Protein backbone atom coordinates (compact mmCIF):
# COMPACT_ATOMS: atom_id res chain seq x y z
CA UNK A 1 0.00 0.00 0.00
CA UNK A 2 1.18 3.50 -0.77
CA UNK A 3 1.62 6.07 2.00
CA UNK A 4 -1.85 7.60 2.58
CA UNK A 5 -0.18 10.91 3.48
CA UNK A 6 0.87 11.34 -0.16
CA UNK A 7 -2.78 11.46 -1.18
CA UNK A 8 -3.32 14.35 1.23
CA UNK A 9 -0.10 16.29 0.67
CA UNK A 10 0.95 15.63 -2.96
CA UNK A 11 -1.94 14.36 -5.06
CA UNK A 12 -0.22 15.60 -8.21
CA UNK A 13 2.74 13.28 -7.60
CA UNK A 14 0.31 10.39 -7.11
CA UNK A 15 -1.42 11.19 -10.40
CA UNK A 16 1.89 11.43 -12.27
CA UNK A 17 3.22 8.17 -10.87
CA UNK A 18 0.04 6.20 -11.51
CA UNK A 19 -0.14 7.61 -15.04
CA UNK A 20 3.16 5.79 -15.72
CA UNK A 21 1.25 2.55 -15.16
CA UNK A 22 -1.75 3.76 -17.16
CA UNK A 23 -3.73 3.23 -13.95
CA UNK A 24 -7.16 4.85 -13.94
CA UNK A 25 -7.14 6.85 -10.70
CA UNK A 26 -10.10 9.16 -10.03
CA UNK A 27 -8.25 11.84 -8.08
CA UNK A 28 -11.29 14.13 -7.87
CA UNK A 29 -13.44 11.42 -6.29
CA UNK A 30 -10.72 10.56 -3.81
CA UNK A 31 -10.18 14.21 -2.86
CA UNK A 32 -13.94 14.60 -2.34
CA UNK A 33 -13.91 11.57 -0.06
CA UNK A 34 -10.90 12.95 1.81
CA UNK A 35 -12.69 16.28 2.24
CA UNK A 36 -15.73 14.54 3.68
CA UNK A 37 -13.48 12.49 6.01
CA UNK A 38 -11.88 15.64 7.40
CA UNK A 39 -15.28 17.26 7.91
CA UNK A 40 -16.72 14.25 9.76
CA UNK A 41 -13.54 13.77 11.79
CA UNK A 42 -13.65 17.39 12.99
CA UNK A 43 -17.35 17.00 13.83
CA UNK A 44 -16.65 13.75 15.70
CA UNK A 45 -13.91 15.39 17.77
CA UNK A 46 -16.19 18.34 18.57
CA UNK A 47 -18.95 16.01 19.74
CA UNK A 48 -16.50 14.00 21.85
CA UNK A 49 -15.23 17.18 23.53
CA UNK A 50 -18.74 18.47 24.12
CA UNK A 51 -19.86 15.14 25.59
CA UNK A 52 -16.87 15.12 27.93
CA UNK A 53 -17.62 18.68 29.05
CA UNK A 54 -21.32 17.85 29.66
CA UNK A 55 -20.40 14.68 31.54
CA UNK A 56 -18.14 16.69 33.81
CA UNK A 57 -20.99 19.15 34.42
CA UNK A 58 -23.28 16.25 35.37
CA UNK A 59 -20.77 15.10 37.94
CA UNK A 60 -20.54 18.58 39.42
CA UNK A 61 -24.33 19.04 39.49
CA UNK A 62 -24.83 15.66 41.11
CA UNK A 63 -22.32 16.56 43.81
CA UNK A 64 -24.37 19.69 44.57
CA UNK A 65 -27.62 17.70 44.74
CA UNK A 66 -29.11 19.41 41.68
CA UNK A 67 -31.57 17.83 39.23
CA UNK A 68 -29.35 16.24 36.55
CA UNK A 69 -32.08 14.77 34.29
CA UNK A 70 -32.03 17.68 31.78
CA UNK A 71 -28.27 17.32 31.56
CA UNK A 72 -28.58 13.54 31.05
CA UNK A 73 -31.07 14.14 28.21
CA UNK A 74 -28.57 16.47 26.53
CA UNK A 75 -25.76 13.92 26.86
CA UNK A 76 -27.99 11.18 25.40
CA UNK A 77 -28.71 13.39 22.41
CA UNK A 78 -24.98 14.05 21.98
CA UNK A 79 -24.26 10.33 22.30
CA UNK A 80 -26.64 9.52 19.44
CA UNK A 81 -25.05 12.19 17.24
CA UNK A 82 -21.56 10.98 18.12
CA UNK A 83 -22.44 7.37 17.37
CA UNK A 84 -23.81 8.38 13.94
CA UNK A 85 -20.72 10.51 13.19
CA UNK A 86 -18.35 7.72 14.25
CA UNK A 87 -20.26 5.27 12.05
CA UNK A 88 -20.03 7.56 9.03
CA UNK A 89 -16.33 8.20 9.68
CA UNK A 90 -15.62 4.46 9.88
CA UNK A 91 -17.50 3.88 6.63
CA UNK A 92 -15.55 6.61 4.81
CA UNK A 93 -12.23 5.29 6.15
CA UNK A 94 -13.16 1.78 4.99
CA UNK A 95 -13.93 3.12 1.51
CA UNK A 96 -10.59 4.92 1.39
CA UNK A 97 -8.75 1.79 2.54
CA UNK A 98 -10.46 -0.23 -0.19
CA UNK A 99 -9.37 2.33 -2.78
CA UNK A 100 -5.79 2.37 -1.46
CA UNK A 101 -5.60 -1.44 -1.47
CA UNK A 102 -6.45 -1.44 -5.16
CA UNK A 103 -3.74 1.08 -6.15
CA UNK A 104 -0.41 -0.33 -7.43
CA UNK A 105 3.05 0.61 -6.24
CA UNK A 106 5.01 3.53 -7.67
CA UNK A 107 7.55 2.49 -10.27
CA UNK A 108 11.28 2.96 -9.92
CA UNK A 109 12.67 5.76 -12.11
CA UNK A 110 14.68 3.16 -14.06
CA UNK A 111 11.57 1.27 -15.24
CA UNK A 112 11.05 1.90 -18.98
CA UNK A 113 7.70 2.90 -20.41
CA UNK A 114 5.77 0.18 -22.23
CA UNK A 115 2.49 -1.67 -22.54
CA UNK A 116 3.43 -5.36 -22.53
CA UNK A 117 6.30 -7.85 -22.32
CA UNK A 118 7.23 -6.86 -25.87
CA UNK A 119 8.45 -3.55 -24.42
CA UNK A 120 10.71 -5.09 -21.77
CA UNK A 121 14.38 -4.15 -22.05
CA UNK A 122 17.07 -6.81 -22.33
CA UNK A 123 19.92 -6.11 -19.92
CA UNK A 124 22.27 -9.00 -20.61
CA UNK A 125 22.68 -12.54 -21.96
CA UNK A 126 24.71 -15.45 -20.66
CA UNK A 127 25.61 -18.66 -22.47
CA UNK A 128 25.02 -19.78 -26.03
CA UNK A 129 21.94 -21.62 -27.20
CA UNK A 130 22.92 -25.25 -27.96
CA UNK A 131 23.15 -26.29 -31.59
CA UNK A 132 21.73 -29.70 -32.48
CA UNK A 133 22.38 -31.86 -35.53
CA UNK A 134 18.76 -32.98 -35.25
CA UNK A 135 15.33 -31.45 -34.68
CA UNK A 136 15.15 -30.84 -30.91
CA UNK A 137 12.13 -32.18 -29.04
CA UNK A 138 10.18 -30.27 -26.42
CA UNK A 139 9.98 -31.41 -22.80
CA UNK A 140 6.66 -33.20 -23.30
CA UNK A 141 8.09 -35.55 -25.93
CA UNK A 142 11.29 -36.02 -23.96
CA UNK A 143 9.47 -36.65 -20.67
CA UNK A 144 7.10 -39.18 -22.19
CA UNK A 145 9.98 -40.88 -23.97
CA UNK A 146 11.80 -41.25 -20.66
CA UNK A 147 8.57 -42.68 -19.18
CA UNK A 148 8.69 -40.13 -16.39
CA UNK A 149 6.14 -37.41 -17.25
CA UNK A 150 2.45 -38.40 -17.23
CA UNK A 151 -0.15 -35.70 -17.86
CA UNK A 152 -3.05 -38.12 -18.32
CA UNK A 153 -2.44 -39.57 -14.88
CA UNK A 154 -2.26 -36.05 -13.41
CA UNK A 155 -5.62 -35.24 -15.02
CA UNK A 156 -7.15 -38.47 -13.68
CA UNK A 157 -6.00 -37.77 -10.14
CA UNK A 158 -6.82 -34.04 -10.18
CA UNK A 159 -7.59 -32.27 -13.48
CA UNK A 160 -5.90 -30.79 -16.50
CA UNK A 161 -2.71 -28.82 -15.80
CA UNK A 162 -1.44 -31.33 -13.26
CA UNK A 163 1.35 -33.80 -13.89
CA UNK A 164 2.80 -36.91 -12.29
CA UNK A 165 6.60 -37.18 -12.42
CA UNK A 166 7.95 -40.70 -12.02
CA UNK A 167 11.26 -42.45 -11.60
CA UNK A 168 14.30 -40.63 -12.87
CA UNK A 169 12.41 -37.40 -13.68
CA UNK A 170 11.03 -37.18 -10.14
CA UNK A 171 14.60 -37.72 -8.92
CA UNK A 172 15.90 -35.08 -11.35
CA UNK A 173 13.47 -32.45 -10.02
CA UNK A 174 14.44 -33.33 -6.44
CA UNK A 175 18.12 -32.97 -7.36
CA UNK A 176 17.46 -29.56 -8.92
CA UNK A 177 15.70 -28.37 -5.76
CA UNK A 178 18.51 -29.68 -3.56
CA UNK A 179 21.15 -27.90 -5.66
CA UNK A 180 19.22 -24.64 -5.32
CA UNK A 181 18.81 -24.93 -1.56
CA UNK A 182 22.43 -25.92 -0.96
CA UNK A 183 23.69 -23.04 -3.09
CA UNK A 184 21.50 -20.37 -1.51
CA UNK A 185 22.16 -21.57 2.04
CA UNK A 186 25.87 -22.39 1.85
CA UNK A 187 27.07 -19.85 -0.72
CA UNK A 188 24.59 -16.96 -0.57
CA UNK A 189 23.88 -16.89 3.17
CA UNK A 190 20.11 -17.49 3.28
CA UNK A 191 18.35 -19.13 6.22
CA UNK A 192 16.29 -22.14 5.19
CA UNK A 193 12.65 -21.77 6.21
CA UNK A 194 9.80 -24.28 6.27
CA UNK A 195 6.41 -22.58 6.13
CA UNK A 196 2.69 -23.46 5.89
CA UNK A 197 1.37 -24.20 2.41
CA UNK A 198 -1.90 -22.45 3.28
CA UNK A 199 -2.31 -18.84 4.40
CA UNK A 200 -5.07 -16.74 5.87
CA UNK A 201 -6.55 -13.64 4.28
CA UNK A 202 -4.49 -11.26 6.42
CA UNK A 203 -1.27 -12.81 5.09
CA UNK A 204 -2.36 -12.54 1.45
CA UNK A 205 -3.57 -9.00 1.99
CA UNK A 206 -0.21 -8.14 3.48
CA UNK A 207 1.75 -9.20 0.41
CA UNK A 208 -0.77 -7.73 -2.05
CA UNK A 209 -2.55 -10.78 -3.50
CA UNK A 210 -5.80 -9.77 -1.80
CA UNK A 211 -8.18 -8.27 -2.51
CA UNK A 212 -7.25 -7.62 -6.14
CA UNK A 213 -6.12 -11.08 -7.27
CA UNK A 214 -8.43 -13.44 -5.40
CA UNK A 215 -9.56 -15.17 -8.60
CA UNK A 216 -5.97 -16.37 -9.15
CA UNK A 217 -6.00 -18.23 -5.83
CA UNK A 218 -7.31 -21.62 -4.72
CA UNK A 219 -9.65 -20.96 -1.80
CA UNK A 220 -10.28 -23.50 0.97
CA UNK A 221 -13.82 -22.84 2.17
CA UNK A 222 -13.21 -23.57 5.82
CA UNK A 223 -14.06 -21.46 8.82
CA UNK A 224 -11.81 -19.52 8.93
CA UNK A 225 -11.05 -19.32 5.23
CA UNK A 226 -7.61 -20.35 4.00
CA UNK A 227 -5.93 -20.06 0.61
CA UNK A 228 -3.35 -22.39 -0.93
CA UNK A 229 -0.20 -20.31 -1.31
CA UNK A 230 0.56 -19.07 -4.86
CA UNK A 231 4.23 -18.65 -3.89
CA UNK A 232 6.39 -18.93 -0.76
CA UNK A 233 6.64 -15.13 -0.92
CA UNK A 234 3.36 -15.01 1.01
CA UNK A 235 4.16 -17.04 4.15
CA UNK A 236 7.85 -16.14 4.24
CA UNK A 237 7.36 -12.36 3.95
CA UNK A 238 4.62 -12.60 6.58
CA UNK A 239 7.22 -13.81 9.07
CA UNK A 240 7.83 -10.11 9.81
CA UNK A 241 4.18 -9.04 9.84
CA UNK A 242 3.40 -6.86 12.89
CA UNK A 243 7.04 -7.05 13.98
CA UNK A 244 9.77 -4.57 14.81
CA UNK A 245 13.04 -6.23 13.77
CA UNK A 246 16.15 -5.48 15.79
CA UNK A 247 18.72 -3.50 13.79
CA UNK A 248 21.44 -6.08 14.54
CA UNK A 249 19.36 -8.77 12.79
CA UNK A 250 19.10 -6.83 9.52
CA UNK A 251 19.13 -7.84 6.73
CA UNK A 252 16.97 -10.95 7.01
CA UNK A 253 17.50 -13.47 4.19
CA UNK A 254 15.17 -16.45 3.85
CA UNK A 255 15.03 -19.31 1.36
CA UNK A 256 12.11 -21.71 1.22
CA UNK A 257 11.11 -24.63 -0.99
CA UNK A 258 7.33 -25.03 -1.34
CA UNK A 259 4.69 -26.16 -3.76
CA UNK A 260 2.80 -23.28 -5.35
CA UNK A 261 -0.87 -23.34 -6.34
CA UNK A 262 -2.40 -21.05 -8.95
CA UNK A 263 -5.79 -21.15 -10.65
CA UNK A 264 -4.24 -19.68 -13.82
CA UNK A 265 -7.54 -18.14 -14.87
CA UNK A 266 -7.69 -17.23 -18.56
CA UNK A 267 -6.31 -18.70 -21.77
CA UNK A 268 -2.60 -18.99 -22.46
CA UNK A 269 -2.49 -20.58 -25.92
CA UNK A 270 0.44 -22.95 -26.28
CA UNK A 271 1.26 -22.62 -22.56
CA UNK A 272 -1.49 -25.11 -21.71
CA UNK A 273 0.75 -27.82 -23.21
CA UNK A 274 3.15 -29.52 -20.84
CA UNK A 275 4.57 -28.12 -17.61
CA UNK A 276 4.97 -24.46 -18.55
CA UNK A 277 1.83 -23.30 -16.74
CA UNK A 278 0.52 -25.69 -14.10
CA UNK A 279 -1.97 -25.41 -11.24
CA UNK A 280 0.67 -26.92 -8.94
CA UNK A 281 4.42 -26.56 -9.24
CA UNK A 282 7.56 -26.46 -7.07
CA UNK A 283 9.64 -23.37 -6.43
CA UNK A 284 12.59 -22.27 -4.34
CA UNK A 285 11.91 -18.71 -3.19
CA UNK A 286 14.34 -16.06 -1.99
CA UNK A 287 13.11 -13.30 0.35
CA UNK A 288 15.10 -10.42 1.79
CA UNK A 289 13.99 -7.93 4.46
CA UNK A 290 16.28 -4.88 4.41
CA UNK A 291 16.61 -1.22 5.36
CA UNK A 292 15.27 1.30 2.85
CA UNK A 293 18.71 2.55 1.79
CA UNK A 294 19.88 -1.01 1.12
CA UNK A 295 17.08 -2.25 -1.12
CA UNK A 296 18.49 -1.23 -4.55
CA UNK A 297 21.75 -3.09 -3.83
CA UNK A 298 19.82 -6.05 -2.33
CA UNK A 299 17.73 -6.26 -5.51
CA UNK A 300 20.84 -6.65 -7.66
CA UNK A 301 22.29 -9.17 -5.20
CA UNK A 302 19.16 -11.31 -5.04
CA UNK A 303 18.91 -11.38 -8.83
CA UNK A 304 22.56 -12.41 -9.04
CA UNK A 305 21.86 -15.28 -6.65
CA UNK A 306 19.11 -16.59 -8.92
CA UNK A 307 21.40 -16.22 -11.94
CA UNK A 308 24.05 -18.34 -10.21
CA UNK A 309 21.79 -21.39 -10.37
CA UNK A 310 21.43 -21.02 -14.14
CA UNK A 311 25.19 -20.63 -14.47
CA UNK A 312 25.85 -23.74 -12.35
CA UNK A 313 23.54 -25.69 -14.65
CA UNK A 314 25.10 -24.01 -17.72
CA UNK A 315 21.69 -23.02 -19.03
CA UNK A 316 21.67 -20.07 -21.48
CA UNK A 317 19.50 -17.21 -20.26
CA UNK A 318 18.89 -13.51 -20.54
CA UNK A 319 18.01 -10.86 -17.96
CA UNK A 320 15.31 -8.32 -18.82
CA UNK A 321 14.02 -5.25 -17.01
CA UNK A 322 10.23 -5.22 -17.07
CA UNK A 323 8.51 -2.17 -18.54
CA UNK A 324 5.79 -0.16 -16.81
CA UNK A 325 2.97 -2.17 -18.38
CA UNK A 326 4.45 -5.54 -17.37
CA UNK A 327 5.63 -4.78 -13.83
CA UNK A 328 3.55 -6.48 -11.15
CA UNK A 329 1.03 -4.72 -8.95
CA UNK A 330 3.18 -4.61 -5.79
CA UNK A 331 6.60 -4.23 -7.40
CA UNK A 332 8.51 -1.03 -8.01
CA UNK A 333 11.13 -2.72 -10.20
CA UNK A 334 11.42 -6.27 -11.53
CA UNK A 335 14.05 -8.24 -13.39
CA UNK A 336 12.94 -11.39 -15.20
CA UNK A 337 15.40 -14.17 -15.92
CA UNK A 338 14.42 -16.02 -19.09
CA UNK A 339 15.97 -19.38 -19.92
CA UNK A 340 16.43 -20.64 -23.49
CA UNK A 341 14.08 -23.51 -24.42
CA UNK A 342 15.12 -25.29 -27.65
CA UNK A 343 11.73 -27.01 -27.90
CA UNK A 344 10.06 -23.60 -28.26
CA UNK A 345 13.02 -21.79 -29.81
CA UNK A 346 12.61 -18.88 -27.44
CA UNK A 347 13.47 -17.55 -23.99
CA UNK A 348 10.89 -18.21 -21.26
CA UNK A 349 10.63 -16.76 -17.77
CA UNK A 350 12.17 -18.89 -15.03
CA UNK A 351 12.49 -16.27 -12.30
CA UNK A 352 11.11 -12.84 -11.39
CA UNK A 353 13.14 -10.80 -8.91
CA UNK A 354 11.35 -7.78 -7.47
CA UNK A 355 11.91 -4.87 -5.13
CA UNK A 356 8.67 -3.86 -3.41
CA UNK A 357 10.22 -1.06 -1.34
CA UNK A 358 7.85 -0.33 1.59
CA UNK A 359 4.65 -1.23 -0.32
CA UNK A 360 4.20 -4.63 1.34
CA UNK A 361 5.73 -3.50 4.63
CA UNK A 362 3.08 -0.82 5.11
CA UNK A 363 0.33 -3.43 4.70
CA UNK A 364 2.21 -5.84 6.95
CA UNK A 365 3.30 -3.22 9.50
CA UNK A 366 6.77 -4.74 9.19
CA UNK A 367 9.37 -2.43 10.71
CA UNK A 368 12.87 -2.22 12.14
CA UNK A 369 14.07 0.03 14.95
CA UNK A 370 16.61 2.64 13.94
CA UNK A 371 19.14 2.81 16.80
CA UNK A 372 20.07 6.40 15.90
CA UNK A 373 16.56 7.74 16.38
CA UNK A 374 15.09 4.95 18.53
CA UNK A 375 12.04 5.02 16.26
CA UNK A 376 10.61 2.18 14.14
CA UNK A 377 10.82 2.54 10.35
CA UNK A 378 9.23 0.48 7.59
CA UNK A 379 11.45 -2.22 6.12
CA UNK A 380 11.82 -2.85 2.40
CA UNK A 381 10.88 -6.31 1.11
CA UNK A 382 12.29 -8.15 -1.91
CA UNK A 383 11.80 -11.60 -3.36
CA UNK A 384 12.58 -13.74 -6.38
CA UNK A 385 12.45 -17.31 -7.59
CA UNK A 386 15.71 -19.06 -7.10
CA UNK A 387 14.41 -20.85 -9.26
CA UNK A 388 11.08 -22.32 -10.41
CA UNK A 389 11.90 -26.04 -10.20
CA UNK A 390 9.49 -27.28 -12.88
CA UNK A 391 10.71 -24.83 -15.49
CA UNK A 392 14.32 -25.63 -14.56
CA UNK A 393 13.51 -29.30 -15.15
CA UNK A 394 12.09 -28.38 -18.55
CA UNK A 395 15.20 -26.34 -19.42
CA UNK A 396 17.56 -29.17 -18.43
CA UNK A 397 15.64 -31.72 -20.49
CA UNK A 398 15.50 -29.55 -23.60
CA UNK A 399 19.04 -28.11 -23.48
CA UNK A 400 20.77 -31.38 -22.59
CA UNK A 401 18.82 -33.72 -24.91
CA UNK A 402 20.45 -36.19 -27.26
CA UNK A 403 19.29 -37.44 -30.62
CA UNK A 404 18.18 -40.83 -29.23
CA UNK A 405 15.87 -39.14 -26.69
CA UNK A 406 18.25 -39.57 -23.76
CA UNK A 407 19.26 -36.57 -21.63
CA UNK A 408 22.76 -35.83 -20.36
CA UNK A 409 22.75 -34.90 -16.66
CA UNK A 410 24.43 -31.52 -15.97
CA UNK A 411 27.61 -31.96 -13.96
CA UNK A 412 26.27 -29.86 -11.08
CA UNK A 413 23.40 -32.33 -10.56
CA UNK A 414 25.33 -35.60 -10.75
CA UNK A 415 26.32 -35.71 -7.06
CA UNK A 416 22.60 -35.57 -6.20
CA UNK A 417 21.81 -38.49 -8.54
CA UNK A 418 24.46 -40.93 -7.39
CA UNK A 419 26.85 -39.92 -10.14
CA UNK A 420 24.39 -40.73 -12.96
CA UNK A 421 25.52 -39.10 -16.21
CA UNK A 422 22.65 -39.86 -18.61
CA UNK A 423 18.90 -40.37 -18.30
CA UNK A 424 17.78 -43.04 -20.76
Q: Determine if residue 383 is labeled as part of a ligand binding site.
A: yes
Task: Give CA–CA dist 360/331, Å, rounded.
Answer: 9
Question: Which of 43, 54, 277, 348 does the annotation list as catalytic?
Answer: 277
Active site residue 125: no
Q: Determine if residue 350 is labeled as part of a ligand binding site.
A: yes
Task: Give CA–CA dist 78/69, Å, rounded.
Answer: 14
Nearest CA-CA partner of 75 in 93, 100, 50, 45: 50
Task: Give CA–CA dist 208/205, Å, rounded.
Answer: 5
Q: Determine if residue 327 is labeled as part of a ligand binding site.
A: no
Q: Determine if residue 293 is labeled as part of a ligand binding site.
A: no
Active site residue 262: yes
DSSP 322-375: --TTTS-TT-SEEEEEEEEETTTTEEEEEEEEEE-TTHHHHHHT-EEE-TTT--
Q: How far is CA 171 from each of CA 263, 267, 409, rounded to the nearest angstrom?
A: 26, 31, 12
Question: Which of 324, 349, 369, 377 does the annotation list as catalytic?
Answer: 349
Active site residue 241: no
Nearest CA-CA partner of 395 in 73, 118, 129: 129
Q: Determine if residue 263 is labeled as part of a ligand binding site.
A: yes
Task: Give CA–CA dist 95/158, Å, rounded.
Answer: 40
Q: Determine if residue 50 is labeled as part of a ligand binding site.
A: no
Q: Determine if residue 285 is labeled as part of a ligand binding site.
A: yes
Question: Which of 21, 161, 205, 262 does the annotation list as catalytic?
Answer: 262
Question: Is residue 152 helix, strand or coil?
Answer: helix
Active site residue 391: yes
Question: Which of 171, 203, 352, 354 does the annotation list as catalytic?
Answer: 352
Q: Determine if residue 57 is labeled as part of a ligand binding site.
A: no
Q: Determine if residue 262 is labeled as part of a ligand binding site.
A: yes
Q: Determine if residue 94 is labeled as part of a ligand binding site.
A: no
DSSP 380-410: EEEEEEEEEHHHHHHHHHHHSB-TTS-EEPP
Active site residue 352: yes
Q: Determine if residue 385 is labeled as part of a ligand binding site.
A: yes
Decide if 389 contacts 378 (C-beta within 8 A): no
Question: Which of 21, 362, 367, 391 does the annotation list as catalytic?
Answer: 391
Q: Determine if residue 352 is labeled as part of a ligand binding site.
A: yes
Binding-site annotation, residues for L-serine: 231-233, 262, 285, 383, 385
Give catalytic residues, as residue numbers.
Answer: 262, 277, 349, 352, 391
Binding-site annotation, residues: 231-233, 262-264, 285, 349-352, 383, 385
Binding-site annotation, residues for ATP: 262-264, 349-352
Amino acid sequence: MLDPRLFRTDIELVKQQLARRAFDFDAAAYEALEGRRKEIQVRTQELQNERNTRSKSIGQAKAKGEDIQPLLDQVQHLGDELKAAEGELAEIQAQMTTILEGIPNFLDDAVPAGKSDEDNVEISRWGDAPEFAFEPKDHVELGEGLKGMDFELGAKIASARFVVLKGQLASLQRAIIQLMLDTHINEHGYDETYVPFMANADSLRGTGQLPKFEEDLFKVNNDPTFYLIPTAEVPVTNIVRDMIVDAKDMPLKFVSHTPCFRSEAGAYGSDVRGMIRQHQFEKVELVQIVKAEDSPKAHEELTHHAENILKKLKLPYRKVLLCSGDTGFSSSKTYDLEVWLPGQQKYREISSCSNFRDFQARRLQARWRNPETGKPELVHTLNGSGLAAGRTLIAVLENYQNEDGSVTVPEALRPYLGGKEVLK
